[in-house]
Structure 1
Amino acid sequence: MKVEVWSDIVCPWCYIGKRRLEKALARYEHAGEVEVVWRSFQLDPAQPRGENIPTSEMLARKYGVTAPEVRAMNDRVSTLAAEEGLTYHLDRAVTANTFDAHRLVHFAATLDLAGALEERLMRATLVDGVAVDDLDTLVRLAAEVGLPADGAREVLDGDAHAGDVQEDLRQARALGISGVPFYAVDRTYGISGAQPVETLLDTLRGASSPVAS
């Protein structure tokens, strides 16, 4: 079984969704037969590289809300994150173009480290308040999960895996994915949003049952 997960590194709901998927897999009887594939998605592809502003400021502009309203929004998602064992510090989060980070995840996939890098990048953004469009930072984070620093640097200094990211984005459009996280199970079942663990588990079980075929 293949579970493809479209997500963006700066998306608070995607980190929650990652944890819930992990919990569902921990309870799934055939988890050893599941391949999880991380697909790229950009919530804001127009975000200029290196022009990082506080995410709270961006949200206020985007939705036309006040600073207290943004804090309330962040508090709600942080409370849900805490239920999954995640300690968000969204007051520290900054905007970042995630294209290069996604390229690096594709490089990590060639070494079976995509999940580990996805985890580290999400934590860097949502917990540590790091800008994940800084190339030196990306190399450091890659090395922390076991990627060769020189290999990561080579990827980032060129355009390696740019086509892979673009293909993920193209497939997302073709599948009608407009928000993340989005899970595709064997391209037969689709789950949109950071759904509860039980929903994910039921879908995994349903996809593997004889009735499903």
Structure 2
Amino acid sequence: MSKITGCYRNASTGCGVDANMKIEIWSDVACPWCYIGKRRLETALAQFPHRDSVDIQWKSYQLDPSVPEHYDGTELDYLSKRKGMAPEQVKQMFAHVTETAKGEGLDYHFDKVVVANSFTAHRLIHLAGTHDKQDVAKEKLLSDHFEHGKDIGSREYLTELGAALELPASEVQELFTTDKFTEEVNLDINEARAIGVTGVPFFVIDRKYGISGAQPAELFSQALNQAWQEANPLIPVGASDAEACGPDGCAV
């Protein structure tokens, strides 16, 4: 867990933490560790007593912007040919990630993964955010990509997803006929570079603490509690010399 310089500014409080705790998450739909990290954060949040005061914002990131809209080949082909990884090394990586995902209740099938460019999917997440459905859109995209072999770059799939999320059909179609939300996606990616993000998932709590990678839920819990205590310190009330008990006994 590292410190992030700068601060989060809002209209009411200026430079400082918001009334709620804010967690920004840079993540790519095509990143298997991002889904695992999402689950681990959710595990920590389920145990966090101030969960209702936590706002989560998903930020766009692309591990490989050069991926074509449709890639003719498997995930194994893509990583071994385009990334120069030995096929056996890729298979071992798949096995390790699949087993780790299983521990978080996720059922990965790398043999079914459709390699596709995630840029339009990120634009859909931004659209969903304007209708308070950003997290459910992110969840569905990750699950469909890694567990169900859906083509996240397909216009047909993204249109169906928009309908399932009950997003206005006309706004979903704008993703394919205009550059709507393109600027927002690029701003997220540029902001990641500016704060030093070199890999995802990357979590930023109240623009103060940065957590890199799919860390264990225990570390997320530690960070959440520490950030909350720093943002909401106890304020002593009354005289400090009032009668009380301590390790050496009670005041007489």
TM class by shorter chain equals: over 0.9
Maintained 8 Å contact 1:8/1:40? yes
2:71 corresponds in structure 1 to: 51
**Percent identity of paired positions between Structure 1 and Structure 2:** 41
For 2:72 and 2:144, the matched residues in 1 are separated by: 14
Match of 2:133 among 95, 108, 113: 113
Is it true that 1:169 corresponds to 2:189 in the alignment? yes
Moved more, 129-138 or 158-167: 129-138
2:171 corresponds in structure 1 to: 151
Maintained 8 Å contact 2:113/2:145? yes
For 1:163 and 1:106, the matched residues in 2 are separated by: 11
For 2:149 and 2:111, the matched residues in 1 are separated by: 8
For 1:211 and 1:36, the matched residues in 2 are separated by: 17
Shift of 1:62: 4.4
Maintained 8 Å contact 1:88/1:126? yes
For 1:53 and 1:150, the matched residues in 2 are separated by: 32
Letter in 1 for 2:73: I
Maintained 8 Å contact 1:120/1:145? no
Deviation per residue, 1:172-206 (Å, 9 max, x gap): 00011010000000110000000000101110110
Distance 1:202 1:138, change over 3 A: same
Distance 1:52 1:31, change over 3 A: farther
For 1:108 and 1:65, the matched residues in 2 are separated by: 35
For 1:158 and 1:52, the matched residues in 2 are separated by: 26
For 2:177 and 2:104, the matched residues in 1 are separated by: 36
Is it true that 1:14 corresponds to 2:28 in the alignment? no
Maintained 8 Å contact 2:113/2:146? yes
Structure 2 portions without partners, runs of 5+: 1-20, 234-252
Letter in 1 for 2:93: M
For 2:141 and 2:230, the matched residues in 1 are separated by: 38
Letter in 1 for 2:209: Y
Moved more, 181-190 or 58-67: 58-67
1:128 corresponds in structure 2 to: 148
Maintained 8 Å contact 2:113/2:149? yes
Letter in 1 for 2:181: H
Is it true that 1:90 corresponds to 2:84 in the alignment? no
Structure 1 portions without partners, runs of 5+: none
Q: Which secondary structure does the structure 2 equivalent of 1:209 belong to? A: helix
Letter in 2 for 1:170: N
Maintained 8 Å contact 1:52/1:131? no
Shift of 1:212: 8.1
1:193 corresponds in structure 2 to: 213
Q: Which secondary structure does the structure 1 equivalent of 2:145 belong to? A: helix
Maintained 8 Å contact 2:70/2:115? no
Maintained 8 Å contact 2:41/2:217? yes
Task: Tell me which structure has the larger Cα radius of gyration.
Answer: 2
Shift of 1:143: 1.7
Shift of 1:131: 1.7
Shift of 1:68: 2.9
2:3 corresponds in structure 1 to: none
Shift of 1:34: 0.5
Moved more, 84-93 or 50-59: 50-59
For 2:31 and 2:230, the matched residues in 1 are separated by: 35
Is it true that 1:180 corresponds to 2:193 in the alignment? no
